[in-house]
Structure 1
Amino acid sequence: MGGGEPRTIIALGLEGSANKLGVGIVKHVYADGVPPSAELRPEVVELANVRDTYNPPPGEGFLPRDVAAHHRETIMPLLKQALAEAGLAPRDLDCICYTKGPGMGAPLQAVALVARTLAQLWDLPLVGVNHCVGHIEMGRAITGADNPIVLYVSGGNTQVIAYSQQTYRIFGETLDSAIGNCLDRFARVLKLPNDPSPGYNIEQYAKRGTKYIELPYTVKGMDVSLGGILTFVERLAKTEPEKHTPEDLCYSLQETMFAMLVEITERAMAHVGSQEVLIVGGVGCNLRLQEMMAQMAAERGGKVFATDMRYCIDNGIMIAQAGALAFARGFATPIEDSWVTQRFRTDQVHVDWRT
């Protein structure tokens, strides 16, 4: 790294872009100081990672105002729990990181307000973080993936990403609904519980499916369209329930959508010449998706990296992780610029901690 003075950065991360509220604390250790130009590769120590989820009744989605109310009620107890688990006081922190976007407006605003207030009360720098970049950086830190093609799949996002010239470039994405949103909406049609998550419950139903039902398969270059397949499978569930079991419908929906994602991910690997795939985001917990992607990667002599629910599902420590990297490079968000945005693109972030 270059023989500088040792440095430690302890960052608090607040995540609340959807129905998951997370508070995480991470410590970065730079034994030889922060290098001025080389890629940052600190020792990463997880100090706390706590989360609480707003779950509406089965068959119902969640409204932004209800999610925001949940976050307002829950964030202070969660913050105290995280600090207690880490054994830290506010004076031990170096910065407060929060999700600037993308996400649902009201929940983002609720959490940003708390972050802004704490930064002023505790006299700490504030660091706004892109939610998607948080997922990527946490995935890289946990799995050890070096320079992978990233498949980012969640309730609000579906993207194939590759790093180039200090930017996470989007190679392909959904043209309409995100895959997690599709799974959530179909779970509501089937009246599946929202606990622990609609996508998880669809995965369990799919494991019991035995008959594949042909569904629309729409890949357009490097992009996918998921709205049509959702409309089609919803119609089957409502108009032909005697012909198709919920298990077979879940199985067919998963197999078709995941095959579309594998196709565009493989095309990105071929273009970039990468042998690594990193799966991040809430849908990345799905074991069948990991299995299909691993089979494709193995045929190319490559490898898949994935994490479990602690890091795939939205969490606070991923915001702390990305924020700490940016903070080490001298980045901070002025209070007057600490607004949030529902449309914060992955490729709008200057990733100056990588080379």
Structure 2
Amino acid sequence: MTMSSPENILDGIVLGIEGSANKLGVGIVNSKGEILANVRRTFVPEPGTGFQPRETARHHQKHVVELMEEALRTAGLRPIDLCAVAYTKGPGMGAPLQSCAIAARMFALMHDLPLVPVNHCVAHIEMGRLVTGAVNPAVLYVSGGNTQIISYSEKRYRIFGETIDIAVGNCLDRFCRMVGLSNDPSPGYQVEQAAKKGRHYIPLPYSVKGMDVSFSGLLSSVQDLVGSKPVPDLCFSLQETVFAMLVEITERAMAHCGQSDVLVVGGVGCNERLQEMLATMCTDRCGRAFCTDERFCIDNGAMIAWTGWLQISSVARLNGSPKLAWPWEDCTVTQRFRTDDVLITWRDD
């Protein structure tokens, strides 16, 4: 393959494809961090059900080409204007990841572009840093598949605490299935809206274990109450308990790392109540809570494009080599790809 020169890479434009779960996103970002396009399609299963890998993969296969075309139209670009294609390597659901990786590989081959595998979790962090301007905050990463407290140190995003069983988003999703709340636009959104109507707090298990949290026991306790308590009260109580657990371990990590600011990323980070609780905690510490809206909290292609550009630009600077494509044998997918597995070559602080 003929690769772009380092000079072109450093001033280039990257297309990113995200499809690790039920959100399919394509984004286009330039070297200045300007988001030229960020389009998305969501697979929404029937109420009371979750999204399965095979059905989700079919959804992505059906829409990925039209979404790439839409992103290019939105940005006013042609494939020849791009310097690279980035895609989500993992973590995530195997079949959806594979579908998007194949689409990215074919697009890269067709247009003679470098292909860049990106860690989904790191992409959330870098997108949050880009759009909020947060410099070096502690990070609360909360989504359907991940719950982690993260801080940067010595070229890695170090995990200081995490869930020891299910992710917070998965907890909310499974609760929605129990009570029959809609999946449109997302289970977490439905819980948030119902919680605003709750009037009575119902005590639930509060499971913080050192720097880690556990949600499975809490979920079982809520299940025992379904049918005997009003759904809005259950939503309110679940949110308050779960978010209090998350804020506690976040503050403990901030104290350990000497940080006063926190950045919340991931789909659950859209929740206004969680943002409010984090803001209160940070104000008490004379810091700030950096939050984004659903355009950037929820899985999206722009976060993959931006992190892909960070990766290839750092390679160009470090190596000064025009051969910037990752080896094809490394352009695979994996359902398990830890945040702290990635060497953060683009940060010097």
Range into which the TM-score falls when normalised by the shorter chain: over 0.9
When the two structures are aligned, how many residues end up with a matched partner?
Answer: 334
Are residues 1:346 and 2:339 paired? yes
Looking at structure 1, the residues matched to 196 and 251 of structure 2 have their Cα atoms a distance apart, in angstroms, of 25
Equivalent in the alignment of 1:336:
329
Equivalent in the alignment of 1:37:
none
Equivalent in the alignment of 1:287:
272
Looking at structure 1, the residues matched to 337 and 132 of structure 2 have their Cα atoms a distance apart, in angstroms, of 25
Matches within 5 A, 1:197-212: 197-212=186-201
Equivalent residues of 1:19, 1:54 under 8 A apart: yes
User: What SS does structure 2 have at the residue aligned with 1:351?
Assistant: coil
Looking at structure 2, the residues matched to 250 and 332 of structure 1 have their Cα atoms a distance apart, in angstroms, of 47
Q: What TM-score do the two structures reach when normalised by structure 1?
A: 0.93
Are residues 1:48 and 2:37 paired? yes
Superposition deviation, residue 143 in structure 1: 0.1
Equivalent in the alignment of 1:245:
230
AA partner of residue 95 (structure 1): A
Q: What TM-score do the two structures reach when normalised by structure 2?
A: 0.94
Superposition deviation, residue 338 in structure 1: 1.1
- Mind listing any 5+ residue stretches in structure 2 that lack a counterpart? 1-5, 316-323
Looking at structure 1, the residues matched to 224 and 89 of structure 2 have their Cα atoms a distance apart, in angstroms, of 37
Equivalent in the alignment of 1:142:
131
Q: Deviations over 1:13-58 (max 9, x none)?
A: 0000000000000001xxxxxxxxxxxxxx3111000000000111
Matches within 5 A, 1:177-256: 177-237=166-226, 241-242=227-228, 244-256=229-241
Looking at structure 2, the residues matched to 9 and 227 of structure 1 have their Cα atoms a distance apart, in angstroms, of 45
Are residues 1:156 and 2:166 paired? no
Looking at structure 2, the residues matched to 60 and 44 of structure 1 have their Cα atoms a distance apart, in angstroms, of 38
User: What SS does structure 2 have at the residue aligned with 1:231?
Assistant: helix
Equivalent in the alignment of 1:258:
243
Q: After the TM superposition, which parts of structure 1 deviate over 6 Å for at least 4 consecutive aligned residues? A: none
Q: Choose from 54, 67, 76 the match for 2:65.
A: 76
Looking at structure 2, the residues matched to 5 and 18 of structure 1 have their Cα atoms a distance apart, in angstroms, of 35
Superposition deviation, residue 333 in structure 1: 2.1
Are residues 1:23 and 2:26 paired? yes
Q: Deviations over 1:52-82 (max 9, x none)?
A: 0000111111110000000000001101000
Matches within 5 A, 1:108-147: 108-147=97-136
Superposition deviation, residue 231 in structure 1: 0.8
Q: Choose from 304, 308, 317 the match for 2:289.
A: 304
Superposition deviation, residue 5 in structure 1: 7.4
Looking at structure 1, the residues matched to 19 and 170 of structure 2 have their Cα atoms a distance apart, in angstroms, of 17
User: What SS does structure 2 have at the residue aligned with 1:182?
Assistant: helix
Equivalent residues of 1:137, 1:318 under 8 A apart: yes
Equivalent residues of 1:9, 1:328 under 8 A apart: no
Q: Structure 1 342/213 Cα, relative in aligned 2: closer, same or farther at 3 Å?
A: same
Equivalent residues of 1:99, 1:129 under 8 A apart: yes
Q: Deviations over 1:333-353 (max 9, x none)?
A: 221221100000000000000
Equivalent residues of 1:128, 1:332 under 8 A apart: no
User: What SS does structure 2 have at the residue aligned with 1:152?
Assistant: strand
Looking at structure 2, the residues matched to 118 and 181 of structure 1 have their Cα atoms a distance apart, in angstroms, of 32
AA partner of residue 96 (structure 1): V
AA partner of residue 164 (structure 2): L
Looking at structure 2, the residues matched to 334 and 13 of structure 1 have their Cα atoms a distance apart, in angstroms, of 18
Looking at structure 1, the residues matched to 16 and 35 of structure 2 have their Cα atoms a distance apart, in angstroms, of 12
Are residues 1:318 and 2:303 paired? yes
- Mind listing any 5+ residue stretches in structure 1 that lack a counterpart? 29-42
Looking at structure 2, the residues matched to 128 and 5 of structure 1 have their Cα atoms a distance apart, in angstroms, of 21
RMSD: 1.2
Looking at structure 1, the residues matched to 30 and 94 of structure 2 have their Cα atoms a distance apart, in angstroms, of 29
Equivalent in the alignment of 1:32:
none
Equivalent in the alignment of 2:83:
94
Q: Deviations over 1:217-273 (max 9, x none)?
A: 011110001110011101111xxx24x100000000000000000000000110111
State the identity as a percent: 62
Equivalent in the alignment of 1:12:
15
Looking at structure 2, the residues matched to 111 and 178 of structure 1 have their Cα atoms a distance apart, in angstroms, of 23
Equivalent residues of 1:11, 1:27 under 8 A apart: yes
Q: Deviations over 1:190-233 (max 9, x none)?
A: 11111010000000000110100000001111000111001110
